[in-house]
Amino acid sequence: MSIFQLLARDGAARRGTIRLPRGTVQTPAFMPVGTYGTVKAMSPEELKTLGAEIILGNTFHLFLRPGLEVISAVGGLHRMMHWDRPILTDSGGFQVFSLGALRKLTEAGVQFRAPTDGHMVFLGPEESMQIQAALGSDIAMVFDECTPHPASYEEARVSMELSLRWAARSHAAYAGPGELFGIVQGGMYADLRRRSLAGLQRLDFPGLAIGGLSVGESKVEMMQVLDDLMPHMPADRPRYLMGVGTPEDLVEGVRRGVDMFDCVMPTRNARNGWLFTRDGVLKLRNARYEKDVLPPDPACACYTCQNYSRAYLRHLQRSHEILGARLNTLHNLHYYQELMAGLREAIAAGRLDAYADDFYRRRRAGSLVGA
């Protein structure tokens, strides 16, 4: 039985649910990123209040620090971080890809020096599956190679075929307790993406992700990949666009049939004083906000906007106060969760195009854009 239930469609967009033992996730969904077992500056209770039903953990970083021995000793990742809802863990493939020349890639896996202390580490499909099982992931991801950009057709083909072989090994090695998703690779080449998808479908994963995007390609290239690939994705499985992205990316991904997203953008940008609003991005370091008594977004119902001014948040940002990072993060995650809720409602009502038109109209007209 599929873990995905389709509730409504509007064009290619889907409104549905993903049923997991620790809870049901309403889709389309945005997953806040908790790299080291924490969504930076937020408590689990705050994440729940904001509407997060699933978060992301990072296999690579958690394996290196605090390590599986510590996580197992305290009862697993969920208990350690006091989060009783679903967690998706990535496989570590993207982080290994990011090491560049510091890694050695072979058919067996990847050898690299740990950025924490420099000791040599080997990570392959079997090791990644063992780590994610030990973490207690509700959704684990196959170990793959993130195809670099730019890549020639031959480079992308070789990388994609390696990822398919690793997917088969991941599938054979994974013993649960959660679901295991496959990852479509193939760079910017439509036929390679379709070949990757076909190979993954033969392994019958309960969900499929689109990897290798948001790695330096243009927005036009990203959307072209989705336009080519999404019509071929199975309708009865959740579809996850990895590491993406901006509010515009989420709207356009949903319009093309994506169900799940994750990105560090709302939390990282919050710590840098960039606040997402319905009218664009508010950059707190801009001098125009020095004495501004308005909240970041007067129409926003989040705790930050209900209680604090742009002037105060600017002061906290310039003073490097921890409270500023917390208030900014709370606002940005509220904005992202509200955006997803609005998209879900629009799909259910059959008015997604009107919702998207209003989304872009406000951002074009907004006085905050580029501020």
Q: What is the tens place of the pLDDT at every residue in 140-179?
A: 999 999 999 999 999 999 999 999 999 999 999 999 899 9
Query: Which pLDDT value is given to residue 94?
Result: 83
Catalytic residue among 10, 249, 262, 279: 262
Does residue 8 sit within a domain?
yes
How many Å apart are CA 326 and CA 319, to the nearest integer?
14
Alpha helices in 2-104 (DSSP H): 44-50, 59-64, 68-73, 77-81, 93-98
Active site residue 357: no
Query: Which pLDDT value is given to residue 370?
Result: 40
From the CB of residue 19, how many other CB atoms can be counted at a distance below 10 Å? 14
| Binding site, annotated residues | 90-94, 144, 185, 212, 300, 302, 305, 331
Residues 102 and 219 in one domain: yes
Q: Residues 125-144: pLDDT tens digits?
A: 999 999 999 999 999 999 99
Residues 92 and 227 in one domain: yes
Contact 226, 256 (CB under 8 A): yes
How many Å apart are CA 317 and CA 291, to the nearest integer?
14
Active site residue 191: no
Which amino acid appears at position 334 of this protein?
H
Does residue 128 sit within a domain?
yes
Residues 48 and 143 in one domain: yes
Beta bridge partners of 362: none
pLDDT at 92 over 90: no
Does residue 370 sit within a domain?
no
Catalytic residue among 90, 259, 279, 297: 90
Kindly give, in sequence order, each residue whose CB lies less than 8 Å from that of residue 49, ignoring residues fewer than 6 positions away. none
Kindly give, in sequence order, each residue whose CB lies less than 8 Å from that of residue 345, ignoring residues fewer than 6 positions away. none
- How far does the chain reach from its first CA to its final CA, in angstroms? 49
Does residue 371 sit within a domain?
no
| Binding site, annotated residues for Zn(2+) | 300, 302, 305, 331
Query: Which pLDDT value is given to residue 368?
Result: 61
Q: Residues 215-246: pLDDT tens digits?
A: 999 999 999 999 999 999 999 999 999 999 99
pTM of the model: 0.97
Residues 171 and 317 in one domain: no
Residues 274 and 232 in one domain: no
How many Å apart are CA 62 and CA 36, to the nearest integer?
6
Please give the residue range of the domain that contains residue 313.
270-365
Kindly give, in sequence order, each residue whose CB lies less than 8 Å from that of residue 51, ignoring residues fewer than 6 positions away. 334, 337, 338, 341
Boundary (domain end) residue, out of 216, 248, 263: 263
Mean pLDDT, the chain, integer: 96
Query: Which pLDDT value is given to residue 147?
Result: 93
Boundary (domain end) residue, out of 263, 283, 311: 263
Residues 211 and 240 in one domain: yes
Domains contained in the chain, number: 2
Boundary (domain end) residue, out of 263, 290, 307: 263
| Binding site, annotated residues for substrate | 90-94, 144, 185, 212
